Amino acid sequence: MPFTSLGFSPAILPALLRSLAEKDYLRPTAIQTAAIPAILQGRDVLASAQTGSGKTAAFALPLLQQLSEAPVSGTRRVRALILVPTRELAAQVGEVMVTLGKYLPQRIKVAVVFGGVSINPQMMNLRSGADIMVATPGRLLDLIDHNALNLGSVNTLVLDEADRLLDLGFGEELGRILGMLPVQRQTLFFSATFPPAIEALAQSLLSAPLRIEVAATPQAAPDIVQRAIEVDPPRRTQLLRHLVQTEKWERVLVFVATKHAAEIVADKLRKADIEAEPFHGELSQGKRTQVLQDFKAKAVQVVVATDVAARGIDIAQMSVVVNYDLPRSAVDYTHRIGRTGRAGESGMAISFVSASTEAHFRLIEKRQGLSVAREQIAGFEALETQPVNAADPLSNGGIKGKRPSKKDKLRAAAAAAAAERE
Ligand code: AMP
């Protein structure tokens, strides 16, 4: 579907198409196709989307139309507020807004504010008001406290990377800001992951939202180096140990399929003098909190987690994510690797692939539109050539030489089909 079919008003469409063409946005991405018509109709949106999906333009374009349709007379008042977790993202979103809006018949003023720099120029800039405010929460509150703006005219709130906003400890600031916004408004909520705190926040803010879930596109994760290393399943722990030690990673999140595997792998790493901890649903809350604190403080270098437990890990900057066991689906893959390389940081995602998991990894690549070169690490070359346990593509290696039964084959086919569907 082209940009012309998304419901933009004829009055501004030529101006938007011109700026889109200059940016080489020839066709809308999946999230743009899904979100733009709904936002233009005034609906709330709840989108599960990562950086790279094209989410910024998905909210920027309809906002620009809404603001152009209701031009201001007199002082500009903030009508669209975009809250972001980091200054890098604030600058990036502001830039997209300005470039996409530059040919509109009405000038839309975009103000970008974030902390860590002097507040005075930001206050001066706000004297003549602004139509769109892109802000990190702390600095926004400072400016409000200085009477540099108020939020009483905000019609649209965008929470961008909501999970990171909470990860970075902006929960309290967010609460204060939300309390200052008009109750009647449109809310657009974007998050890469949906741990319980984010689900609860979304529930409290949104009214009958359109739910959108998109996997990252290939250009999706520009800062994440994705690698696939071929290794026989029984040698994965040794390889992991070798990589942690030789590549000197600071903070590593390793994904495994079971609680048992989390315990075993962490234990073996500890025996090799690596600060490693398991992280899964059977640990007490106290233990989990302790592990997270130590991980944050860099007292723990490696956390070996199951997918479900890892949702509670509110640490954004992971140097490396390792898929010791492959994720079940392409969507899970996106969520896992999204834990590294965020907000302009570079990161690395490594998947261990063996003869028995190769087909499953290919499906993930296909779903992601990816092609990751297979590597071998000297001393850990994969020797197995046949799937050793076709029954379970996610198995910990299976039993060497075991021939799959008919039931095994059916199960494997069903698992592959499920992964394809997701
Ligand atoms: P975002 O997810 O908003 O951070 O965008 C990720 C990248 O995709 C950015 O480099 C955008 O410039 C680019 N992008 C966004 N929308 C499109 C589109 N429709 N066509 C091509 N590239 C796009």
Ligand 1 centroid vs 57 CA: distance in angstroms? 7
Distance CA 58, CA 97 (A): 11
Which is the closest atom of ligand 1 to the Cα of 53?
A: 2
Closest ligand 1 atom to 26 CA: 20
Q: Give 24 Cα–ligand 1 centroid separation in angstroms.
A: 9
Q: For a substitution probing ligand 1, which of 8, 23, 97 has the most ligand atoms within 8 Å of its CB? A: 23
What residues does 159 pair with on adjacent strands? 83, 189
- The minimum-distance atom of ligand 1 relative to the CA of 29 is 19
Which one of 17, 19, 29, 191 would you pick to mutate in the ligand 1 pocket, going by the greatest count of ligand atoms within 8 A of its CB?
29
Distance of CA 168 to the CA centre of its chain: 14
Residue 276 is predicted with a pLDDT of 97
- Distance from residue 319's CA to the centre of ligand 1 (Å): 24
- For ligand 1, atom 11, the nearest C-alpha belongs to 54
CB atoms closer than 10 angstroms to residue 274: 17
* Ligand 1 pocket test, candidate residues 56, 84, 92, most atoms within 8 A of CB: 56
Please give the domain boundaries of the chain with CATH numbers for all domains. Answer: 3-218 (3.40.50.300), 222-420 (3.40.50.300)
Give the residue from 219, 203, 206, 191 showing the smallest Cα distance to 370: 219
Tell me the pTM. 0.58
How would you class 305 by CB atoms within 10 Å of its CB: exposed for 0-12, middle for 13-18, buried for 19 or more? Answer: buried
- In angstroms, the CA 181 to CA 150 distance is 9
Q: Rounded to an integer, what distance in angstroms lies between the CA atom of residue 28 and that of residue 1?
A: 7
What is residue 404's predicted lDDT score, i.e. its pLDDT? 53
Q: Please tell me the predicted confidence (pLDDT) of residue 14.
A: 96
Cα–ligand 1 centroid distance for 20 (angstroms): 10
State which ligand 1 atom lies nearest to the alpha carbon of 3.
19
- For ligand 1, atom 10: residue with the closest CA: 52
| CA of residue 90 to ligand 1 center, whole Å | 16
Report the candidate in 177, 134, 172 with the shortest Cα–Cα distance to residue 152.
177
Nearest CA to ligand 1 atom 22: 25
CA distance 129 to 388: 66
CA-CA-CA-CA dihedral for 260, 264, 266, 272, to nearest 10 = 180
Smallest CA-to-CA distance from 335 within 213, 197, 167, 209 is with 213
The pLDDT score that the predictor gives to residue 387 is 58
Q: What is the DSSP string of 355-401?
A: TTTHHHHHHHHHHHT--PPEE--TT------S-S-TT-TTSSS--TT
What is the pLDDT at residue 115? Answer: 87
Distance (Å) from CA 140 to ligand 1 centroid: 26
Report d(CA 261, CA 242) in Å as an integer: 18
Provide residues with CB under 6 Å of ligand 1: 25, 28-29, 32, 51-57, 219
pLDDT in tens, the chain (422 residues): 899 999 999 999 999 999 999 988 989 999 999 999 999 999 999 999 877 788 999 999 999 999 998 877 788 999 999 999 887 789 889 999 999 999 999 899 999 999 878 999 999 999 999 999 999 999 999 999 999 999 999 999 999 999 989 887 899 999 999 999 999 999 999 998 888 899 999 999 999 999 998 865 444 445 788 999 999 999 999 999 999 999 888 899 999 999 999 999 999 999 999 999 999 988 887 788 789 889 988 999 999 999 877 866 656 678 899 999 999 988 788 878 877 765 455 789 999 999 999 999 999 998 888 889 999 999 999 988 765 554 444 444 333 334 555 555 555 555 555 444 43
Q: What angle do CA 124, 99, 18 make, to 5 degrees?
A: 145
Best of 25, 50, 82 to mutate for ligand 1, by most ligand atoms within 8 A of CB? Answer: 25
> What backbone phi and psi angles, to 5 degrees, belong to 347?
-150, 175
